[in-house]
Amino acid sequence: MKYQTLAIHGGKKDDSGKHSVNYPIYLSSTFVQPDLEQFEEFVYSRGNNPTRNAVESLAAQLEGAEHGLALATGMAATSLVFGLLKQGDKVLINSNVYGGTWRFVSNIFADRGIAYETVSDFNTYDFSRIDESVRMIFLETPSNPLLKITDIRRITEAAKEKNILTVVDNTFLTSYFQKPLELGADIVVYSATKYYAGHSDILAGLVLVNDEQLYTRLKFLQNTLGGILSPLDSFLLTRGIRTLGLRMERHQQNALAVAKYLAGHEAVEDVYYPGLESSENYALQRSQAKGDVGVLSIRLKDSHDSKKFVKNLKIFGLAVSLGGVESLICHPATMTHESYAPELQRQIGIDEKLLRLAVGIEDIDDLTGDLEQALEKAKR
Ligand SMILES: Cc1ncc(COP(=O)(O)O)c(C=O)c1O
């Protein structure tokens, strides 16, 4: 089956004998055992819940992965994967990752005796100087909020030679546009809160993996740490996934149109969007992904007041997050990336003027019209 057919018909079928089109929501914390010696598949919902298992298998099918795990949030998914690390291990991480991931790395790794190195450009990184303690490479591509693209094949080839795990946070593109496991990665993580769920109504995380041993350890950690996705949210995540392909196409189409519109506007100084042919990452992105994200970042020229611009937008809501059907705008320096110290923000290219747009699936004329009227009012 092709992707969009799988998104609609994949996962598990109703096994209750009722033949419902949608997999039922099993709101049950525990399951009755036939007798003392007999343990069945479902014992207690932290370990396995039918509705959660259904969305886990759907996500795995879409990724082309052997196994999927669903967690309560994207950060629970990332934390689960970081749970593979031990004292003395070292992690390489790209320098502009999501602020919450950075909060984890910069605050919690030290307590656990785990070292890290931030890499500003993995595409030119010299892997021959990697030390023995490096156990994991964690990367986000496109990165957040500057949409830098990392060459996944280059990293995974170098990592494999040295027995290093490669983890890709694929939140921005989803398996619809990019399949990191096929490009050699070991683990894929998602904030499924974003495009997968797609309606800004739940928080969710996913971890996808092929390797049995890795899966066994991650499954153990999921049950032991306990940050699982609830049955109700598993149902809602499944519902979101059914339309993922349609939404991704429209997000991409709208984001490209907005990027082009802004790139040609006299008020705009910079546009960061890998789907623009003028982007330095345009070719690399096309070599490893089938499409582009619905997110872009911009800076206005000094002739325009960014605060006034944001204040006057009527359709783009001022909010963190992305991947829902509605358009949002945020100010990374004080919102999504406030966990980075100001000095570090400057080093990685986040400044007061940077704005991140998460383009929704509304009518494109309304979106550009909204930007136009707000830019007009933002003139100094
Ligand atoms: C790229 C990326 N990864 C991970 C996360 C964390 O996900 P959650 O908010 O679902 O915990 C986010 C959230 O914004 C994100 O943008």
Give the model confidence (pLDDT) of 166-208 as tens digits: 999 999 999 999 999 999 999 999 999 999 999 999 999 999 9
- Of 15-19, 190-194, 311-315, the range with the lowest mean pLDDT is 15-19
Q: In the β-sheet with 295-300, what is the strand arrangement from edge to edge?
A: 268-272, 295-300, 355-358, 328-330, 317-318
Q: What is the pLDDT of residue 348?
A: 86
- Protein residue whose Cα sits closest to atom 8 of ligand 1: 74
Specify whether 129 is catalytic: no
Task: Report the atom number in ligand 1 closest to the C-alpha of 320.
Answer: 14
Tell me which of 73, 75, 233 to substitute to probe ligand 1's pocket, judged by most ligand atoms within 8 Å of the beta carbon. Answer: 75
Mean pLDDT of 334-344: 89
- Of 128-132, 147-151, 367-371, the range with the lowest mean pLDDT is 128-132
Query: Are 82 and 113 within 8 A, CB to CB?
Result: no
Alpha helices per DSSP H over 64-181: 74-82, 99-108, 152-161, 174-177
Q: What is the pLDDT of residue 339?
A: 85
Mean pLDDT of 235-249: 98
Distance CA 262, CA 368 (A): 9
Find the Cα–Cα–Cα–Cα dihedral 118, 120, 122, 128, rounded to 10°: -60
pLDDT above 90 (res 363): yes
- Of 76-90, 91-105, 186-200, 363-377, the range with the lowest mean pLDDT is 91-105
Beta bridge partners of 294: none
Nearest CA-CA partner of 59 in 250, 276, 205: 205
Mean pLDDT of 264-288: 97
User: Which residues lie below 8 Å from residue 344, measured CB to CB, with a gap of 6+?
Assistant: none
The DSSP call for residue 353 is T
245-377 classified as CATH 3.90.1150.10: yes
Q: What is the pLDDT of residue 340?
A: 87
Q: What is the pLDDT of residue 39?
A: 87
CA 134 to chain centroid: 23
Per-state percent for the chain, helix, strand, coil, to nearest 5? 35, 15, 45
Task: Report the atom number in ligand 1 closest to the C-alpha of 336.
Answer: 14
At 71, the pLDDT band (50, 70, 90 cuts) reads very high
User: Which residues lie below 8 Å from residue 283, measured CB to CB, with a gap of 6+?
Assistant: none
User: Which residues lie below 8 Å from residue 12, measured CB to CB, with a gap of 6+?
Assistant: 23, 50, 53, 54, 57, 58
Task: Report the atom number in ligand 1 closest to the C-alpha of 193.
Answer: 10
Nearest CA-CA partner of 153 in 115, 181, 194, 188: 181
At 43, the pLDDT band (50, 70, 90 cuts) reads very high
Task: Report the atom number in ligand 1 closest to the C-alpha of 192.
Answer: 10
Residues with CB under 6 A from ligand 1: 73-75, 98, 100-101, 140, 144, 169, 171, 191, 193, 203, 205, 321
Q: Which structure tokens are listed for 321?
A: 């997050």
Task: Name the active-site residue from 23, 98, 116, 176.
Answer: 98
pLDDT above 90 (res 61): yes
Q: pLDDT: is 144 or 91 the higher one?
A: 91
Q: What is the pLDDT of residue 84?
A: 98
Mean pLDDT of 20-42: 95
Question: What phi, psi does 159 have (nearest 5°)?
Answer: -65, -40
- Sequence ranges of the domains in the chain: 3-242, 245-377
Q: pLDDT: is 5 or 339 the higher one?
A: 5
Q: Which residue has the tokens 């990392």?
A: 150
Question: pLDDT above 90 covers what percent of the chain?
Answer: 93
Q: What is the pLDDT of residue 90?
A: 98
Task: Report the atom number in ligand 1 closest to the C-alpha of 75.
Answer: 11
Mean pLDDT of 286-297: 98
Tell me which of 81, 191, 338 to substitute to probe ligand 1's pocket, judged by most ligand atoms within 8 Å of the beta carbon. Answer: 191
Q: Is 77 exposed, middle or buried (0-12, 13-18, 19+ CB in 10 A)?
A: buried
Q: Which residue has the tokens 């709208």?
A: 254
User: Please, what is the end-to-end C-alpha distance for the chain in angstroms?
Assistant: 55
Query: Are 136 and 85 within 8 A, CB to CB?
Result: yes
Nearest CA-CA partner of 91 in 122, 134, 129, 124: 134
The DSSP call for residue 106 is H
Average pLDDT, the chain: 96
Tell me which of 193, 230, 320 to substitute to probe ligand 1's pocket, judged by most ligand atoms within 8 Å of the beta carbon. Answer: 193
Query: Are 110 and 261 within 8 A, CB to CB?
Result: no
3-242 classified as CATH 3.40.50.300: no
In the reported structure, the alpha carbon of residue 75 is separated from the centroid of ligand 1 by a whole-number distance in angstroms of 6
Q: Which structure tokens are listed for 39?
A: 């343990």
Task: Name the active-site residue from 194, 247, 250, 356.
Answer: 194
Specify whether 239 is catalytic: no
Query: Are 67 and 197 within 8 A, CB to CB?
Result: no
Alpha helices per DSSP H over the chain: 3-9, 50-63, 74-82, 99-108, 152-161, 174-177, 212-225, 231-242, 244-263, 282-288, 306-312, 342-347, 364-377
CA 284 to chain centroid: 19
Specify whether 169 is catalytic: yes
Mean pLDDT of 98-119: 95
pLDDT above 90 (res 266): yes
Q: What is the pLDDT of residue 344?
A: 87
In the reported structure, the alpha carbon of residue 130 is separated from the centroid of ligand 1 by a whole-number distance in angstroms of 28
Task: Note whether 3-242 and 245-377 share their fold.
Answer: no
- Protein residue whose Cα sits closest to atom 16 of ligand 1: 98
- Of 41-45, 190-194, 232-236, 337-341, the range with the lowest mean pLDDT is 337-341
Distance CA 26, CA 361 (A): 32
Task: Name the active-site residue from 26, 116, 151, 169.
Answer: 169
